[in-house]
Amino acid sequence: MRAPDTNEILLQVEGVSLAFGGVKALRDVSFDIRKGEIRAIIGPNGAGKTSMLNVINGFYHPNHGAITFKGRTRAQMQPFEASRGGIARTFQNVALFKGMSALDNIMAGRTLKMRRGLLWQMLRYGPALAEEIEHRHRVEEIIDFLEIEAIRKVPVARLPYGLQKRVELGRALAMEPDLLLLDEPMAGMNLEEKEDMSRFIIDVNNHYGTTIALIEHDMAVVMDLSHRVAVLDHGVKIADGTPDEVKENQAVIDAYLGVAH
């Protein structure tokens, strides 16, 4: 894949360490994400990949280190502050609002963009209705883009897994994020669904210019999609570079295949 033209750094992680009691999930991890790129974070199970995402969007607070996002450095923040700043994410095991339709789930992603207060919403007239319709337009564009028109009114609990993942991506896209974190977007999918999802990820990156950080176990997908790959193992970053560089890296091969001691 062609790398983005700019080298402007959107997110910089510096010396982040995170421990749960005696378990050290992350040890002094540093890397950066450039504006407009697709950045993969890979590693064997338990390497600390999801913890890393949770640190980035404020769900975990690191014990050490700092994170600079869009030029602002902070040690910790709350999840809703991260979303306000323009970080969206999807989850490893789908975290949709099960009782709501696909449409409502994606509409919920527009929450931060909607301004009308309680009284206006209660009347649902004039400006409130206009706002609702305006956001519905934006959401319908996303629905169109993800090709889920047919299921927009279906409660998400009834949808198959692959479609749920797509709705979840839609909800994250509805936030119009600057940085999109995808936690194993293809886990549990068949080949066809994986291809669809890859296409959407590339399109999101090309079309909306969204910077994407993704965690994925399927190496073929990772190597094809991403511009740069960071490899974690036991909470330590062992490699960082283009897919080709990482593929040749001895530490990475050892981490994945094991090594005789």
Partner 1 sequence: MLYREAGQFKTTYAEDMAIFPIRQDRIALGILLGIAFVGVPLLATFHIWPFNSEYLLWAILLPFLILALAAIGVNILVGYCGQISLGSGAFMAIGAYSAYKLGTGVHIPLAWFGFAISIPPLPVLPSILLGGLMAAIAGILFGIPSLRIKGLYLAVATLAAQFFFDWVFLRVPWFTNYAPSGSVNAPRLDFFGLAVNTPIERYLLCLIFITVFAVLAKNLVRGNLGRQWMAIRDMDIAAELIGIRPLYAKLTAFAVSSFIIGVAGALWAFVYLGSWEPLAFSIDRSLQLLFMVIIGGLGSIMGSFVGAAFILILPIMLNLIPTQLGVPLSTETITHLEFIIFGSLICYLLIKEPHGFARLISIGKEKLRLWPFPY
Look at residue 66 and give its three-state secondary structure: strand
Per CB under 8 A, the list member of 24, 27, 64, 116 interacting with partner 1 is: 116
| Distance in angstroms (rounded) separating the CA atoms of residues 191 and 170 | 21
- In the shown chain, the binding pattern of residues 12 to 51 toward partner 1, with x for contact by CB under 8 A and - for none, equals ----------------------------------------
Candidate ranges 11-19, 25-33, 67-75, 124-132; the one touching partner 1 (CB under 8 A): 124-132
| Distance in angstroms (rounded) separating the CA atoms of residues 162 and 169 | 11
Look at residue 245 and give its three-state secondary structure: helix
Nearest CA to 221 among 42, 21, 16?
42
Per CB under 8 A, the list member of 1, 19, 100, 202 interacting with partner 1 is: 100
Per CB under 8 A, the list member of 13, 38, 51, 83 interacting with partner 1 is: 83
Using CB under 8 A as the binding rule, whether residue 59 contacts partner 1 is answered as yes
| Distance in angstroms (rounded) separating the CA atoms of residues 35 and 31 | 13
Q: Which is nearer to partner 1, 61 or 199 (CB)?
A: 61
Task: List helix spans (H) across 127-207.
Answer: 127-145, 161-174, 191-203
Nearest CA to 195 among 170, 227, 225, 172?
225
Q: Which is nearer to partner 1, 73 or 111 (CB)?
A: 111
Q: Which residues contact partner 1 by CB under 8 A?
A: 57, 59, 78-80, 82-84, 88-89, 91, 95-100, 104, 107-112, 114, 116, 118, 121-124, 128-129, 132-133, 136-137, 140, 171-172, 175
